[in-house]
Homo-oligomer: A and B are copies of this chain.
Amino acid sequence: MPPSRRDLLASVHPLAKELRRIEDQAAADYGVTMWQYAILSVVSDSPGLNQGQVARNLQYSANRIVADLDELQERGLLVREPGQDRRANQLHVTEAGAALQRKVQHDVHDREDDLLAGLSPTRQRQLRAALQQLAQQMRADS
């Protein structure tokens, strides 16, 4: 009898939950939510995206992003700018927004390093590479 194979979700679920806890806490330490931090990260990487594009990139929803953007804009961390297509808002982070994003990300990466410390550097690279390939593949499928 083969050793009973366990569902992948049985190991991915705890990891996702812990990573989410890490991001929740790191973001909260700087006064934003995890999703607001995620929005700042995507818009920092790709300035000029519109709201729908950011929502899809994050697998977030187009209606919930509205209130997050309202708050980020109100706090001067991000701006909505009109483009040629006057329906769509081009999003850009401010200097303050970029600085906050970098601080949160630094904390997140430190805590991720602690979490993965039990794996050899090689194993860590393999894990990150496999996860990124799968994520990219799923983005292409959808």
Interface of A (DSSP majority class)? helix
Q: How large is the interface on A (under 10, 10 to 19, 20 to 34, 35 or more residues)?
A: 35 or more
Q: How far is the CA of A14 from the CA of B63 in the complex (A)?
A: 19
Copy number in the complex reads 2
Assess whether A135 is interfacial by the CB under 8 Å rule.
yes
Interface residue stretch chosen among A70-78, A83-91, A118-126: A118-126
B contact residues around A128 at 8 Å (CB): 8, 11
Which chain A residues (29-81) contact chain B, with CB distance < 8 Å?
Answer: 38, 41, 45, 59
Assess whether A94 is interfacial by the CB under 8 Å rule.
no
When A116-B134, A135-B11, A138-B15 are in contact, do A5 and B59 touch as well, CB less than 8 Å? no
Assess whether A10 is interfacial by the CB under 8 Å rule.
yes
Q: How far is the CA of A74 from the CA of B118 in the complex (A)?
A: 44
User: Is B138 in contact with A14, judged by CB distance below 8 angstroms?
Assistant: yes
Q: How far is the CA of A99 from the CA of B64 in the complex (A)?
A: 41
Question: Which of B7, B14, B19 is close to A41, meaning CB atoms less than 8 Å apart?
Answer: B7
B contact residues around A96 at 8 Å (CB): none
Give me 17 A-to-B residue pairs in the complex whose CB atoms sit less than 8 angstroms apart, sorted by A's number: A7-B19, A7-B23, A7-B105, A7-B112, A8-B112, A9-B20, A12-B16, A13-B19, A14-B139, A16-B16, A17-B59, A118-B137, A126-B126, A126-B130, A127-B127, A127-B130, A127-B131
